[in-house]
Amino acid sequence: MAVPGERTVLEASEREALEAQLGLDTAGLLRHLLPTAQALSQPRVSDFRVGVAALGKSGRVYLGANLEFPGLPIASSVHAEQCMVSQAWAHGDSVVQLAVTAPPCGHCRQFLNEQAQGLAIRIMFHEVDLPLSGLLTHSFGPADLGVSETMGPDLQHFSDQEKAAWEAEVSRAHPSLTPELIGAACSALARCYTPYSRSHSAVALDTTHGIISGAYLECAAYNPSLPPIMTAVALLAARRGTPADIRSILVLEDQAAKFSHVALAESFAYTYAASAPLTVHRLSSLRHA
């Protein structure tokens, strides 16, 4: 049985109804949903399909799959666990348990460790069921860099007044952009997870599936960090969309950021959404923590 309506997010009440209907506990349901998640995979380089089904602290279930992009650097790939975490981020949630079709790679183990109580996340694959701490022994994580913040539900560092100032700045500079696209990008920027570099960046996509936004989601190990264009593309894929559905792209960054994600966004647009105009704005009104 697939997720109702072929969606990739189940509300807590829907999860409970499916568990009752199928006679499964939550762990059993997550395993049951793996073929549905795996079907979302786009392994255009590796031909290796990975699917993941996860339980959020809210009680929701999130599905994710690996996404690969020929023509872009292989590091631009979105791992299944990252795709799933993008969904949890979009819903202001954090992950407490997951089932995956293959053992999580080191990249994903590090990325999951950024979640609230990350080392306690239950990981299930094949016949294995153990906490992340059992897969990431002698771990390096946020605490090693003096960071107590996590990629959890309380990811909000800016006020509505500050977001309104950003929106006004972008609107003045780019009057042809819609308020909806600007607002989505600014809201994503406010929920970046960038405790290590404080280099805020976000992307909003105007697509045939609606406006989809993604934020920069950072990792203590740096390389597993998820750039905002890939967060947004993962969320587009979760809606069964493709890059061909993108009509325009807005990239927002802090002008004082230590590095930029614009080049990757431009490469993605050139390779997969050449007809979609791309706008870049570097905010001058962002408060620095």
User: For the stretch 124-146, what's the b/e string if a residue is b when 16 or more beta carbons lie within 10 angstroms of its beta carbon?
Assistant: bbeeeeeebeebbeebebbeeee
Instruction: Please give the C-alpha separations between residue 272 and each of 51, 81, 204, 277, in angstroms, as whole numbers.
Output: 23, 23, 16, 12
User: For the stretch 10-20, what's the b/e string if a residue is b when 16 or more beta carbons lie within 10 angstroms of its beta carbon?
Assistant: beeebbeebee
The residues that are catalytic are 81
Quote the CA–CA distance of 89 and 58 in Å, as a whole number: 12
Q: Are strands 278-283 and 246-254 parallel, antiparallel or unpaired?
A: parallel
Side by side, the strands of the sheet bearing 201-207 are 210-215, 201-207, 246-254, 278-283
